[in-house]
Structures are given as C-alpha cells and as structure tokens.
Amino acid sequence: MMNRTKYLIGNWKMHKNFSEAETWIETVEIPSSIEIMIAPSFLYLYSLVRLTRPSNLHIAAQNMHYEDEGAFTGEVSPRMLLDVGCHNVILGHSERRHTFGESDQLINKKICSAAESELFVTLCVGEPELVHNNGKDKAMEYVEKQLRASLQGLTSALRITIAYEPVWAVGSGTTPNIDYIADMHRLIRRVVSSIFNDNSGESISILYGGSVNSVNAQNLFADSEIDGFIVGGASLDAMEFNKILEVMEE
C-alpha cells in the first residue's frame, strides 16, 4: 500500500484572536509523524509563522487572490503570503464557494496562481445537500466535475492535497458513512490520475472534512483511503485537537 503523508489541518475560520492562538499553540502536542497545519485569520499569519518556526506545525491561509498585486480591495495575494513566510493555502472551501459565490473557474485561477508561486494547496471539493439527496452517483458526478474544473491547466499534482468535504457534513454534526467516504476518495484518486495522466492519484493525500471530532476520528482514520482530516469546530479546542492527533498516532 502507498505510504502517503498524513495531515491534520485545523481550519479556524473567523475564530480566535492572537492571544487565544498563542495559548492554543502552547497547548498542542506536536507529533513528528503527522503534518499539522492551522489556518488562522490573515491578520495573524505573520506572527504565527514566526511563533511556530521551526516545528512540524505549519501555518496556512484560508484563501487568497490569484493576482500578485492590483486594485483588489480587501484581497490578499500569493506574493504577500510568501512574503510573511506562509507557504500553504486552502482553496475552494465550501464556505468560499457557497457563502462568497466562488466558482470552479475562479478557484482554478487561484490554484494555477498558487502553483506558479510554489505554494502548497489544500483543494476542498464536496457535494451540497441537494445533490447528495439525489444519490451517490450524482454526488460523484458533481465532485468529478469540480475536480476537473478546478485542476484544469495544471501540469502536476505535486504540491496539492485534496480535502473531500461534503457540504452537508460541514458544521452539521453529521458525517457520511465510511464506505461512502472511501468510495469518494477512490473516485478522486481515479480522476486525479486521469487528469495528470500518471498515477498521482495513488500518491496524493486525500483528507476528509466535515464534523470530525476525537470520537469519530478513530473509526474514520482506520480506513486506508483517509490520509487525515481538515477540522473546523473541533480544532478550536487544543485539547480536542490533541485527542484527534492521539487517535491518528495509534
């Protein structure tokens, strides 16, 4: 079986001020076998990169613009991320897609720009509830379309991790059953290999996200298709995050 990198990403969304972030970082126990990333507000990237360096705890941005500079009020560019020492970015999160109206085409521009800047990308994909209600085949079609549109024009999957996050599971307290997730991850692997015309789908890390906590993480991580998690609500409490890490280390 392919030995893929394991990840645990804490997506803090619009939570935590600087002193809360400092306390969190002091409390979290960083293992060497798992890549850990936290995605704080843009405001704290500069300070948190410095506070966590050098360690196995990496800092990621939750979003970015695709241009390096220009008249884009309120936006942050790839060049700015690199300038503050942030080398990771989450793109296509369901809240960006559904609350802020980001399309596959826009996300594709961002991914191509991130690739040019040599940023590491966690690309989120996942079907909304309405699609999910129409059955697994429809959900798979939807995710395949998202992937193909988002990755169009890229030449390699080298700096990409994919997070499968069904929109209906994010923040809802509900997770799909494990076979459903595993089938979706296998589909993602097939699609990635077909896009890049190689077997990168086998080596790419695919994370699951959507209502992960220290109780369900054990069962989910036991499936060899799941290479880690992106965690929202449960990442805000460092003790809970430590428990998820413990489960992944066992």
Q: Reduced to 3 states, what is the DSSP secondary structure of residue 83?
A: helix
Residue number closest to ligand PGA, CB atom: 232
Q: Is 231 in the site for ligand PGA (CB under 6 A)?
A: yes
Q: Is 128 in the site for ligand PGA (CB under 6 A)?
A: no
Residue 118, Cβ neighbours under 10 Å: how many?
Answer: 11
Cα 32 to Cα 148: distance, rounded to the nearest angstrom: 33
Q: Is 122 in the site for ligand PGA (CB under 6 A)?
A: no
Using CA atoms of 18, 107, 241, 16 in order, give the dihedral in degrees to the nearest 10.
Answer: 20
Q: Is 10 annotated as a binding residue?
A: no
Q: Is 233 annotated as a binding residue?
A: yes
Q: Find residue 160's DSSP bridge partners.
A: 121
* Positions 161 through 200 that interact with ligand PGA (CB under 6 A): 165, 170-171
Q: Is 12 annotated as a binding residue?
A: yes
Q: Is 214 in the site for ligand PGA (CB under 6 A)?
A: no
Exactly one of 233, 237, 240, 242 binds ligand PGA (CB under 6 A); which one?
Answer: 233
Cβ at position 110, least distance to ligand PGA in Å: 17
Cα 21 to Cα 38: distance, rounded to the nearest angstrom: 10
Cβ at position 71, least distance to ligand PGA in Å: 30
Q: How many residues does the chain have?
A: 250
CA angle 235, 175, 142 (to 5 degrees): 105
Write out the residues near ligand PGA by the rule CB under 6 A. 11, 165, 170-171, 209-212, 230-234
